[in-house]
Structure 1
Amino acid sequence: MAGTRLLVGDIGGTHGRFALARADLRPERIGVEEGDAHPDFESALAAYLGKYDVKADTAAFAVAGPVTAGETARVTNRRNWAFDVESLKRRFGLSRVIVMNDFVAQAAALPHLTVDEIAPIGPAPRQIGGMKVAVGPGTGLGVAALAPEGPGWRPLPGEGGHVELAAVTGREWAAFELIRAELGRVEAEAVISGPGLLRLHRALAQLDGREAKEADAAAIVLAARRGETRALETVGLFLDMLARFCGDLALTYAAEGGVYVCGGVAPKMLDLIDPDAFRAAFEAKAPHEALMRRMATTVVVSPVAGLLGCAAQARRLLAGE
């Protein structure tokens, strides 16, 4: 990657974040383009390049959606934002364009995070080596793993946010029936995401014969922070489900390197996470409780993890050419 001016982008359902990657992978000249402000991805990219007068010969974009053969992609929660490698090359004069799933980038960032970019949940020690998992509630729910490979790492993409989510308590079953009537199925993303938090809150209110007054996830979190009972129940149940889902992923991947909670939601709820309750839900995987106790759970609080991981994965791919 020596001599390459690498443009990176972390593209989600709400906005796109762009930057230039330095030689140490750290992003600079960071700019954000809101999704609602642009009819398509190329317009958003053109706006960023114009504002920051950025020149690059290579680009890598981490996209919140499935990537087809590394050549095309579409943001799952913003369907008009599509990515076509050849079109991007032609319009922006790029010699190389790499497109990856956004949680491939989140996973690729994990070995490069500093201690002030993470916040441990509970006492389990962080392991430098071993399989790691990145999971992140945001506009959707991203999942990817990171496997050791020689002296480096290989991200393993997936769409784990769309697996079926299991209810455990009677209260959860009743709420899930309402959500299932609305959506047809209760995938993990339907509840463990920003929109999912609101959906869960409304379902719980409906069970009690009331109407939820909060209009979005941020309002629910603020209400919980004020100690309001209904918001506290929603947030507590949300975090319990997140912990159980993290535990399922830890078992699926034998994630001895730990599970990292990424995305835009968890850092904003950090003060509401009870480490003991979170770890109890995470570890309740009989007969493997002892194994679970060795696996760390950590919140990624870095706002640039996606850009950092995008640069790391791009460097890995370019070095292999």
Structure 2
Amino acid sequence: MQKNELTLLVADIGGTNARFALAHCTGAGIEVSQARHFPSADFASLEAVARHYLDTLESAPALDGGCLAVAGPVAGERIALTNLNWYANVSELQRQLGLPRLAVINDFVAYAYSIPQLPDSQRQVVKPGEPMAGAPRVVLGPGTGFGVASLVPTERGWLAIPCEGGHISLAATNERQAALVEILRRRFPHVSVETVLCGRGLVNLYQAMGQLLNLPATLTTPAEITSAAQGGQDLLARETLAEFCRWLGSVTADLVLAQGARGGACLGGGILPRIAEFLQHSDFTQAFGHKGLMTGYLEPVPVELALKSDTALMGAAAWFRDHG
């Protein structure tokens, strides 16, 4: 069988959901089938959820390998899913699952690999611009956590490089943000980007905003907050989501500057596609460009939103096809 003709077990495993599928790689591209998703918290380990998926298949195909994209750092043989307290060893997991080859990569690396393959219909321009030819791109977005990866052009195509950008310190750019950071600092020993820009971070921000504005914070989930904000009647929810988008713009620009990503930024993750219209009319772009001496550097950098949040399965297959 040729390298581009493969049948693979692929997965995108985050703190909330574990998504699995079979990927069929051919010369014509990648086709994903028999997709399933399970609540991650229902399982005790990475092996347990992978085994459960395989057991759901009516007929087990002959697999050429597997590529699991996980929400956490992967260092050599050691796998750590930060938000689930799951730990595993790659070789041992390969043996347990009976796979001839197994790769485990960061979930945002897989997601980043899927971005160049998205059609225009699955992209929304957030900030127009002109990407610099041959320059890196940055892919980032809030979900259960805050994922970041770089896409670096090479002679063989894009190379995705994972990083832990969600854990850099959150910078305030105005008095309100400084006050919110101070409120959050009383609860958290380190106020990082992920303290605010993720699902639970949106709740953290909502509670801090309620304290700052002296308004009752009665909502308890990200879905409730985004729904109330977009409904337009809930002042606290609306102010919270507006600040969320403003901070996202500033952080996106910081990451473009840090990585020299003049090829553009792509926003993704599980939250933003659900607030696409709100984001479009927010202060994201103004915050993105508010970088003093670097305003001119950032002006031509385009920003787009990937409208699908479940493309990491295809990205995992593409990674294995090219590198596995």
Shorter chain as denominator, the TM-score bin is: over 0.9
Residue pair 1:122, 1:275 contacting (<8 A) in 2 also: no
**Hey, what does 1:241 align to over in structure 2?**
247
Residue pair 1:122, 1:276 contacting (<8 A) in 2 also: no
Match for residue 49 of structure 1 among 45, 50, 54: 54
Q: Tell me whether 96-105 or 121-130 shows the greater mean CA deviation.
A: 121-130
**Hey, what does 1:232 align to over in structure 2?**
238
Q: Which amino acid aligns with 1:16?
A: A
**Hey, what does 2:306 align to over in structure 1?**
300
**Hey, what does 2:164 align to over in structure 1?**
159
**Hey, what does 1:254 align to over in structure 2?**
260
Residue pair 1:121, 1:275 contacting (<8 A) in 2 also: no
Which runs of structure 1 show a deviation greater than 6 angstroms over 4 or more consecutive aligned residues?
A: none
Shift of 1:234: 0.2
Give the distance between the partners of 1:257 and 1:221, measured in 2 at CA: 30
Relative to the length of structure 1, the TM-score reads 0.93
Relative to the length of structure 2, the TM-score reads 0.93
Q: Which amino acid aligns with 1:255?
A: A
Provide, for residues 19-54 of structure 1, a one-character-per-residue CA deviation record: whole Å limited to 9, x for no partner.
112221342221101112212221111111111244
Q: Which amino acid aligns with 1:182?
A: R
- Aligned identity (percent) is 34
Q: Which amino acid aligns with 2:255?
A: L
**Hey, what does 1:11 align to over in structure 2?**
13
**Hey, what does 2:135 align to over in structure 1?**
130
Q: Which amino acid aligns with 1:40?
A: S
Give the distance between the partners of 1:75 and 1:117, measured in 2 at CA: 29
In structure 2, the gaps of 5 or more residues are none
Match for residue 270 of structure 1 among 252, 263, 276: 276
Residue pair 1:127, 1:296 contacting (<8 A) in 2 also: no
Residue pair 1:27, 1:304 contacting (<8 A) in 2 also: no
Residue pair 2:242, 2:283 contacting (<8 A) in 1 also: no
Residue pair 2:69, 2:106 contacting (<8 A) in 1 also: yes
Q: Tell me whether 308-317 or 139-148 shows the greater mean CA deviation.
A: 308-317
Shift of 1:288: 2.2
Q: Which amino acid aligns with 2:283?
A: A
Indicate yes or no: 2:23 matched with 1:21: yes
Cα 1:254–1:244 change in 2 (3 A) is same
Q: Which amino acid aligns with 2:8?
A: L
Q: Tell me whether 283-292 or 162-171 shows the greater mean CA deviation.
A: 283-292
**Hey, what does 2:80 align to over in structure 1?**
74
**Hey, what does 1:311 align to over in structure 2?**
317
Residue pair 1:135, 1:144 contacting (<8 A) in 2 also: yes
Match for residue 194 of structure 1 among 194, 199, 208: 199
Cα 1:40–1:239 change in 2 (3 A) is same
Shift of 1:118: 1.4
Give 3-state SS (helix, strand or coil) of 1:201's partner: helix
In structure 1, the gaps of 5 or more residues are none
**Alignment root-mean-square deviation, CA:** 1.7
